[in-house]
């Protein structure tokens, strides 16, 4: 596996978010200069606070829906709210972030002849009729529903990436990221891992949507980033898309029971209506990543939850999280 040349300068959009802040750390550890760009809609300075004094780290407040003029060698485009609570808050802006953001970052990459990575999502598969989901499955997506701003925004971003690749010979890498969890998740993002942990720690009812039989596959942030970095440094014959996620599948009820058990909480489980277009199954086929990147997740769910619970416990103790609200 090739590694970056130490003198390279790497731009991370959405760099103050959950995934982005961990990625900035990893890149600095590898000896790179990192320019972190974020508009702080869902990201927070707290996530990158320990990096602010690092001599090779720079933080810039900027919205990717506006052009950015910087000089870099690599671009990781992670900017976009990624949870239903946040991306449905301002759906028009969510679509703009995915589409205009992609156009602006691709334009920058084209000018600089820089390699560019797109953080796409398993949501491009919609509510899948194929299980598990391989990269050649085109998906089953509602183009006019409440989740469409994110699902179709990310699908359009993939279209743009591959058209820039074909039309301009741009060096692209597209990863489809499945449910990822770990420290620095937003406490009020409405995702099941953060929701369940915060509710359990606060002794609130665990809000389970539907009967809890819907499935998700949870990938620890350290595993996810290892796959992303390997994809970024893979050969030019692998533009993607490549699924990155954990193929071990859990029902939402199993997750709820596990969180209650691990936190020692007395929370009861309360069922709510299933949100519109909520996928009933989600599990990646990672055959391509195994074959081409020699990558697969190593952190078991129970192991990863230990540090994630500890993170939220500290956050709540410091007053850094308000009680989480159920999905709209």
- Extract the tokens encoding 293: 């990147």
Catalytic residue of the set 150, 164, 181, 311: 150
Distances (CA, A) of 46 to 52, 56, 185: 10, 18, 12
Instruction: Confirm if 97 and 80 have CB atoms less than 8 A apart.
Output: yes
Residue with tokens 């690092």: 54
Q: Tell me how crowded residue 269 is: count the other CB atoms within 10 A of its CB.
A: 15
Is residue 150 among the annotated active site residues? yes
- By three-state DSSP, how is residue 131 classified? coil
Q: Residue 195: which of 312, 86, 300, 274 has the closest Cα?
A: 312
Distances (CA, A) of 118 to 130, 226, 242: 24, 15, 11
Closest CA to 298 of 192, 194, 226, 242: 226
The strand pairing partners of 34, in sequence order, are 10, 57
Local structure of residue 195 (DSSP, 8 states): H
DSSP 61: E
Longest dimension (CA), the chain: 58
Q: 278 by DSSP, 3-state: which? A: coil
217 and 181 Cβ atoms separated by less than 8 Å: no
- By three-state DSSP, how is residue 177 classified? strand
CB under 8 Å to 56, separation ≥6 — which residues? 28, 31, 32, 33, 34
Which token pair is 309? 């619970």
Catalytic residues: 150
């Amino acid at each position: 596996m090739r590694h970056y040349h130490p003198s390279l300068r790497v731009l991370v959009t959405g760099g103050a978010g959950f995934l982005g802040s961990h990625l900035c750390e990893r890149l600095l550890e590898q000896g790179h200069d990192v320019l972190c760009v974020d508009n702080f809609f869902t990201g927070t300075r707290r996530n990158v606070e320990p990096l602010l004094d690092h001599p090779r780290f720079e933080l810039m407040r900027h919205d990717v829906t506006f052009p950015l003029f910087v000089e870099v060698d690599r671009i990781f485009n992670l900017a976009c709210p990624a949870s239903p609570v946040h991306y449905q808050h301002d759906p028009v802006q969510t679509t703009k972030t995915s589409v205009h953001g992609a156009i602006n970052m691709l334009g920058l990459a084209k000018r600089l002849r820089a390699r560019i990575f797109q953080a796409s999502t398993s949501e491009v598969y919609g509510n899948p009729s194929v299980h598990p989901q391989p990269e050649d499955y085109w998906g089953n997506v509602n183009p006019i529903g409440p989740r469409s701003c994110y699902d179709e925004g990310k699908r359009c971003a993939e279209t743009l990436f591959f058209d820039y690749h074909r039309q301009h010979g741009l060096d692209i890498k597209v990863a489809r990221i499945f449910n990822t969890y770990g420290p620095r998740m937003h406490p009020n993002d409405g995702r099941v891992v953060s929701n369940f942990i915060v509710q359990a720690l606060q002794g609130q009812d665990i809000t389970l949507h539907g009967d809890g039989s819907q499935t998700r596959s949870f990938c620890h942030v350290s595993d996810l980033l290892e796959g992303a970095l390997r994809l970024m440094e893979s050969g030019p014959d692998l533009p993607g898309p490549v699924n990155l996620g954990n193929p071990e599948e859990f029902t939402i009820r199993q997750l709820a029971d596990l969180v209650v058990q691990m936190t020692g909480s007395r929370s009861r489980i309360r069922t709510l209506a299933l949100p519109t277009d909520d996928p009933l199954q989600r599990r990646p086929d990672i055959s391509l990543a195994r074959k081409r990147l020699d990558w697969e997740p190593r952190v078991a769910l129970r192991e990863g939850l230990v540090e994630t619970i500890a993170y939220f416990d500290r956050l709540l103790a410091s007053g850094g999280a308000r009680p989480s609200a159920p999905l709209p």
